[in-house]
Amino acid sequence: MSTIARKKGVGAVLWDYLTTVDHKKIAHLYLISGGIFFLLGGLEALFIRIQLAKPNNDFLVGGLYNEVLTMHGTTMIFLAAMPLVFAFMNAVVPLQIGARDVAFPFLNALGFWLFFFGGVFLNCSWFLGGAPDAGWTSYASLALDSKAHHGVDFYTLGLQISGLGTLIGGINFLVTIINMRAPGMTFMRMPMFTWATFVTSALILFAFPPLTVGLIFLMMDRLFGGNFFNPAAGGNTIIWEHLFWVFGHPEVYILVLPAFGIFSEIFATFSRKRLFGYSSMVFATVLIAFLGFMVWAHHMFTVGMGPIANAIFSVATMTIAVPTGIKIFNWLFTMWGGSIKFTTPMHYAVAFIPSFVMGGVTGVMLAAAAADYQYHDSYFVVAHFHYVIVGGVVFALLAGTHYWWPKMFGRMLNETLGKITFWLFFIGFHLTFFIQHFLGLMGMPRRVFTFLPGQGLETGNFISTVGAFFMAAATVVLLINIVISVKGEKAPADAWGDGRTLEWAIASPPPVYNFAQLPLVRGLDPLWLEKMEGKKELTPAEPLGDIHMPNSSFLPFIMSFGLFVAAFGFTYHQETAWGLPVGILGLLITFGSMFLRSVIDDHGFHIHKEEVLELEKKGANA
């Protein structure tokens, strides 16, 4: 019986996924859970738009509106966009660099389960008195004032658990990309998506600690009698804004750099030529990351930092437009003179350029500190960041889903349905958010649950709501496409026929060990180079031998579950007798499983070369 025989049966598959440390299966987990949270965040957005469809509406009123609004933002950023980005990093990066897995497979699983339990914990708040209601930014003055229920405590603890998972994931990918590249894969031969993942991981490493510190302070203030943000006791609420935004602005780039990476792959593949200005693209990515840490206070122009601070942050913010512009022109030049195939991913890529540029233009407008006094806290800002995050990140996630689906699952998605999804989403997106720029300039503030008739805001809000339903329809079509893809056409190794990078050289879906023999990388776009020389496959860099693989483990799940339990205990420790014991029990579960991990030797197992040969034959015939 083969050591990697296919397990059948629902229970066996479930256990396989609960204990897996395989980056490809972890990618599936991120994709599924991120997808579910995306649907949840989308429903919350629909509820917001229904409430604002007409003046004085009473669909969601007051406190409940604040909860839905807060959870929409928090869910979409932390529980949908981040894990979906991580899904593609896990699915693609080890394949693109010619590795058999990530550097730390166990930590990879731990990162996922921490994220998952943090997200589930946050959403438990709906059923336990009320969700967080201080806005997704949870400004300290609002968060400390939210005393009716434990919503904000679910926010501080849930995001700490999730954030720990993200931080672990970021460290893992840094080490993977530095240490695990195939022979010949120098840094300047890495695909753009791998570069984006590398830089993003560095951003995660530096951006998440300030958020964690801020969340610990807020948790201390709310649950353990601290006074970090209480002005009456010598605290300072503005410190929260600095801690939050010194994470929050790099977070925008943590989301958008992988999106840029996805589009760089798609433009090159479907223009059938190498990415124009590769080295300048790498430089621009690194520069954006560097500058991304110098601009956080542009979220705080109206706080009263004074003209000097405002001027410095204003200039720094405008500077980021330069490397972004370099990228835009390189993508245009990549298409120029290419032999373009308008597949579904390419539709998203082409639509992304004008959509994202519009978000960038309003960004430069908001960067002018004096003008920002007018725009601040109006719907103009809402329109701006949705143009960046939906027009940039969500377009990329949809494009990446279509592009790498055959590689991840071995089946093509239906192109016709894909294009229907694209047009519905594209039209819905612009309908929803374009008009919001004007609503903002007409004086409609953010985060208000209703507006009065006769202020000229009715038409704009109604159009915006109609657009939201178009995006909802697009999502439904995408789900239908996914369901019917189970019976769709089987994908070959090079699913699109124009693959340039290593992931298209191996079977779809890849075998458990990825590469039977590690490939020799002879330049940028290594698969394309081999194809141009008339070869069908990669040049191996090693003889065929036994392959060492890591063992599955249930411990990541248990460790994360322990923190989940502990979070409940500490949330309720002030008003109940059981709170503290449950909190301590949870920490014991986590530290106990960490101790087990330390003392139990885990040497992994080998796949013998005879089995590898057999599997490769099967893969070739599939």
- Render pLDDT for 530-552 as a digit per residue (tens, 0 to 9): 999 999 889 999 999 999 999 99
Which positions ≥6 away from 32 have C-beta within 8 Å? none
Q: What's the rounded Cα separation, in Å, for the pair 558 and 21?
A: 14
Q: Write out pLDDT tens, residues 157-171.
A: 999 999 999 999 999
Q: How far apart are CA 402 and CA 287, in angstroms?
A: 29
How many percent of the chain have pLDDT more than 90?
Answer: 96
Query: Per residue in 218-251, is it b (16+ CB within 10 Å) or e — as a string?
Result: bbebbbeebebbbeeeebebbebbbbbbbbbbbb
Please determine, for residue 2, whether its predicted confidence score (pLDDT) is greater than 50. Answer: no
Cβ pair 153, 249 in contact under 8 A: no
- Average pLDDT taken over every residue of the chain: 96
| Cα–Cα distance, 85 to 98 (Å, whole number) | 20
490 forms beta bridges with 411
Backbone torsions φ then ψ of 429, nearest 5 degrees: -60, -50
Q: What percent of the chain has pLDDT over 70?
A: 98
Tell whether the model's pLDDT for residue 498 goes beyond 50: yes
Tell me the three state secondary structure of residue 27: helix
d(CA 138, CA 565): 23
According to the model, what pLDDT value does residue 4 have?
45
In this prediction, residues 204-215 reach a mean pLDDT of 98
pLDDT in tens, 606-618: 999 999 999 888 8
Residue 407 has pLDDT above 90, yes or no: yes
**508 by DSSP, 3-state: which?**
coil
Query: Each residue of 567-601: pLDDT tens digit?
Result: 999 999 999 999 999 999 999 999 999 999 999 99
Choose the weakest-confidence range: 100-109, 252-261, 533-542: 533-542
The structural domains of the chain, ordered by start, are 10-553+602-621 (1.20.210.10)
Give me the pLDDT at residue 512, please.
95
pLDDT surpasses 50 at 212: yes
- According to the model, what pLDDT value does residue 7 have? 56
Which carries the bigger pLDDT value, residue 533 or residue 620?
533
The mean pLDDT of 380-389, rounded to a whole number, is 98
Would you state the pLDDT for residue 6?
55
Assign 5 a pLDDT band (cuts: 50, 70, 90).
very low
List beta partners, residue 445. 378
Which pLDDT score, from 0 to 100, does residue 62 have? Answer: 82
Q: Is 385 exposed, middle or buried (0-12, 13-18, 19+ CB in 10 A)?
A: middle
Q: What is the mean pLDDT of residues 477-485?
A: 98
CA atoms within 13 A on the CB side of 93: 35
Q: What is the pLDDT of residue 620?
A: 60
Residues 137, 360, 192, CA angle at the centre, nearest 5°? 95
Alpha helices in 452-607 (DSSP H): 458-485, 526-532, 555-571, 579-599
Q: Report which of 28, 23, 54, 14 is spatially closest to residue 449, judged by C-alpha positions.
A: 54
Whether the predicted pLDDT of 42 surpasses 50: yes
When pLDDT is cut at 50, 70 and 90, the band that residue 3 belongs to is very low
Q: Is the pLDDT of residue 1 over 70?
A: no
Taking the model in full, what pTM does it have? 0.96
Report, as an integer, the average pLDDT of 475-483: 98
